[in-house]
C-alpha cells in the first residue's frame, strides 16, 4: 500500500492558492484513476483506490490534511501509523518556491528549506520521506513569499498548471512501480516547464 499526501489549506477560501498545489494534484489523481469518494479520516479528507502499474495494481490512499498547511504532518503521521507504513510507503506533493513555475523535482532527505509544512511532515514521518517538489516560482523578495503562496494562480499560469497536473497524474504508475527518477523524467517530458527568468527562481 502507498499513501499520497497533498499539502494545502482547507476550505474554499484557499482552494486556488499556490500553496494548495498539492491538493490540486491529488484531486486530479482521484479523478483520473477512479478513486472512491472523499471521506473524513486521519484529521483530513481521504480517498481510496487502485493504481494500475507495470507490476500490477497498487492499493493507494490519497490524503488531504485538514490541519492547515503548517501542521499537515499530524494528519500524515496518523495515517501512516494506522496502516503501519514506513516513510518508503509515503509520498508528499507540495508547492516549491525555489523551483521555476512548472518544474518538478523528487527529493528524499535534506532540509525543509524553511517550509513549515515540510518541517511538520519530516517531524511526523521521518526525514527520508519522498517529496514531490512542484515549482511555483519565487516572488523575488522574501518578504513577499507569504502573500505570494497564499494568492491564487494567475490566469496566465493556467496552461503550464494544467499540463503539470495532467502529467503528475498520468505518470503516477511510474512513481509507484519504477521509482523517483523515472517519474520525474516522465512528468517533465509530458509537461515541459515554461521559460522563466532564472534570477527569480533558484534551482530552476
Q: In tens digits, what is the pLDDT along the chain, a chain of 204 residues?
A: 999 999 999 999 999 999 999 999 999 999 999 999 999 999 999 999 999 999 999 999 999 999 989 899 999 999 999 999 988 899 999 999 999 999 999 988 665 566 788 889 889 898 888 999 999 999 999 899 999 999 999 999 999 999 999 999 999 999 999 989 999 999 999 999 787 544 444 444
Task: Identify the pLDDT of residue 193.
Answer: 79
Listed by start position, the domains of the chain span 2-200
Task: Identify the pLDDT of residue 101.
Answer: 95
What stretch of H or E contains 49? strand 44-53
Hey, what CATH topology would domain 2-200 get? Rossmann fold (3.40.50)
Q: Which three cell numbers stand for residue 13?
A: 477560501
Task: Give me the active site residues, please.
Answer: 19
Which of 84, 62, 58, 87 shows the shortest CA–CA distance to 7?
62
Q: What is the DSSP letter of 181?
A: H
Q: Which three cell numbers stand for residue 163?
A: 499540463
Task: Identify the pLDDT of residue 4.
Answer: 98
Task: Identify the pLDDT of residue 118.
Answer: 85
Residue 114 CB neighbours (<10 A): 11
Residues 158, 37 contacting (CB under 8 angstroms): no
Amino acid at each position: 500500500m502507498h499513501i499520497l499526501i497533498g499539502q494545502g489549506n482547507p476550505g474554499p477560501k484557499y482552494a486556488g492558492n499556490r500553496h494548495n498545489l498539492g491538493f490540486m494534484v491529488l484531486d486530479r489523481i482521484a479523478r483520473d484513476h477512479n478513486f472512491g469518494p472523499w471521506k473524513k479520516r486521519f484529521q483530513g479528507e481521504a480517498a481510496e483506490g487502485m493504481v494500475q502499474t507495470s507490476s500490477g495494481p497498487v492499493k493507494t490512499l490519497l490524503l488531504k490534511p485538514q490541519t492547515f498547511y503548517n501542521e499537515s504532518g499530524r494528519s500524515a503521521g496518523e495515517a501512516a501509523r494506522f496502516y503501519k507504513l514506513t516513510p518508503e510507503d509515503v509520498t508528499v506533493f507540495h508547492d516549491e518556491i525555489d523551483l521555476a513555475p512548472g518544474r518538478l523535482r523528487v527529493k528524499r532527505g535534506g532540509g525543509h528549506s524553511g517550509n513549515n509544512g515540510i518541517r511538520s511532515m519530516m517531524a511526523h514521518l521521518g526525514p527520508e520521506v519522498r517529496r514531490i517538489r512542484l515549482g511555483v516560482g519565487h516572488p523575488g523578495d522574501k518578504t513577499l513569499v507569504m502573500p505570494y503562496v497564499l494568492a491564487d494562480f494567475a490566469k496566465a499560469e493556467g496552461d503550464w498548471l494544467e499540463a503539470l497536473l495532467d502529467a503528475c497524474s498520468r505518470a503516477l504508475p511510474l512513481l509507484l512501480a519504477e521509482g523517483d527518477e523515472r517519474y520525474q523524467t516522465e512528468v517533465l517530458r509530458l509537461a515541459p516547464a515554461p521559460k522563466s527568468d532564472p534570477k527569480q527562481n533558484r534551482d530552476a
